[in-house]
Amino acid sequence: MSKPVNSEQYSVFSKKTEYKKLFTIHYSLFTVYCLLFTVYCLLNIGCGHKPPTLSDTHLKAIDFNQRAEHAFKKGDYKKALNFYHEALKVNRSVENIDGIAINLMNMATVYRKLGDKDNAHKCVDEILNSSGIIYSSLRLTDASFMKALLFTDDGKYDPALEWTDKAISFCKSAGCHMEGSIYNLKAKMYLLNKDPNSAIIYGNKGLELNRKYDDVQEIANSLRLIAEAKTSLNQFEEAIKLYEDALSMDKALGLSKKIAIDLMGIGNIFLKQGKCEDALKYYQRAHSAGESAGDQQVVKDASNMMDKCLQK
């Protein structure tokens, strides 16, 4: 039998129930507020993130740079040079150090394409011999690499090697991904200097680094360089295999000139082995690729080699 509830007991019971209800309501509200606050914070993190805004001057410089790149890709080097010059001027006006270095480097690249080595050297020297502005190690790597390329073009391998070493040193301090390209250039220099064994060593080093950084274009370059070195050492089977690997990569990248060079390389191996018919097929393919790409030098080389084959 339960006891009858008096008025005092009922009042206490009623208050307890009320407090429980109030606690539940407050607890629910608190949870909802916490959730809303969390959503608010997340929205602030997401929506509040604004992309860095650039000034009109910076945008103008970038616009010139992009127009120049477009002209360069179309093969209009003089127009590209003018645009890079304008981009450089705008970057100088706001002392955008990286912008100055990038456009100087690009101008050097265009001058090299135009065969104006003196001006190319001048552009690069401005980065390397700067007294007032301190350029980043990455840009110094680019400049040293370009210096090495310019000396290689002139057949001056000693200064070229010095600059490749400097480029490697800058690249290491900048933590850049260009080391493989620099080793490739070293391999090329040794190959041109009739030292295929050293070329293979540096080519392999370049190949390893390029694979590490997944730079497909430079991987193909490494393979081609090693193939060329192996050809001169009469290691034909390995060389063909390397050329074929480089060829498939160049095809994937759509580099017509490189495709023609790879095909010429394989043709040369067959010719060295006295297999003129096989060599002729590759020369014809190289001729066709070179002709389509508008590369007169490749077309001329392929034609000469085809004549050689036909005479035998």
For the CB of residue 50, give the shortest distance to another protein in the complex, in Å: 6
Question: Are 187 and 229 contacting, i.e. CB atoms less than 8 angstroms apart?
Answer: yes
How many positions of this chain bind another protein (CB under 8 A)? 46
Q: Does 260 bind another protein (CB under 8 A)?
A: no
Among 29, 30, 98, 297, binds another protein (CB under 8 A): 98
- For another protein, the closer CB: 160 or 299: 160
Question: Are 130 and 92 contacting, i.e. CB atoms less than 8 angstroms apart?
Answer: no
Q: In this structure, what DSSP letter does residue 132 have?
A: S
**Residue 41 CA from chain centroid, whole number:** 38
Among 14, 17, 173, 234, binds another protein (CB under 8 A): 14
**What's the sign of the alpha-carbon dihedral 248, 250, 256, 258?**
negative
For 108, the token pair is: 């050097």
Establish how many alpha carbons lie within 13 A of residue 130's alpha carbon, considering only the half-sphere containing its beta carbon. 18
Using the contact rule CB under 8 A, the part of the chain among 19-27, 58-66, 154-162, 278-286 near another protein is: 58-66
**Residue 265 CA from chain centroid, whole number:** 25
Among 17, 24, 217, 292, binds another protein (CB under 8 A): 217
Q: Does 285 bind another protein (CB under 8 A)?
A: no
Residues 290-309 vs another protein: string with x where CB under 8 A? --------------------
Greatest extent of the chain over all pairs of C-alpha atoms, in Å: 127
Among 1, 4, 51, 312, binds another protein (CB under 8 A): 51
Question: Are 170 and 137 contacting, i.e. CB atoms less than 8 angstroms apart?
Answer: yes
For 22, the token pair is: 């109030």
Bin 32: left if φ > 0, else alpha if -120 < ψ < 50, else beta: alpha
Q: Does 99 bind another protein (CB under 8 A)?
A: yes
The footprint of another protein (CB under 8 A) covers 7, 10-11, 14, 46-52, 54, 59, 61-62, 65-66, 69, 72, 87, 91, 96, 98-99, 102-103, 105-106, 109-110, 142, 145-146, 149, 181-182, 184-185, 188, 206, 217-218, 221, 224-225, 258
